Amino acid sequence: MNTKLYAVIYVVLFVFATLQVAVEFAGLTYWTAFWLIMALSAIKAVLVAAYFQHLRYEPRAITYVVAIGVVAAIALTAAASYSITGT
């Protein structure tokens, strides 16, 4: 794998981080900004995992292992948060 690709990924990550703060000051509604910012975080996370941790080049099974962990964490967060709404 070449250094140039790593460098491009790095620059993209850098720009996206800056964008996140820019979004905050862009005057969007709170929840639009919220999902935009979280989406940027998710894209950055996927880039780091895919290239810096080179999951893209590993057997897919490893990605699934990590994905199970992510799904479990999101399920816990979402279900727990939902459970105390509307009471």
Contact between 86 and 51 under an 8 Å Cβ cutoff? The reply is: no
- Contact status: 28 vs other proteins (CB under 8 A): no
CA pair distance 9, 13, nearest whole angstrom: 6
Q: Which amino acid is at 1?
A: M
Collapsing DSSP states into helix, strand and coil, what is residue 83? helix
Position 29 contacts other proteins (CB under 8 A): no
Among 6, 26, 32, 56, binds other proteins (CB under 8 A): 6
Lay out the site mask for other proteins across 39-68 (x = CB under 8 A, - = otherwise). Answer: -xx--xx--xx--xx----xx-xx--xx-x
Task: Classify residue 5 as left (phi > 0), alpha (psi -120 to 50) or beta.
Answer: alpha
Q: Which residues bind other proteins (CB under 8 A)?
A: 1, 3, 6-7, 10, 13-14, 17-18, 20-21, 24, 30, 33-34, 37-38, 40-41, 44-45, 48-49, 52-53, 58-59, 61-62, 65-66, 68-70, 72-77, 79-87
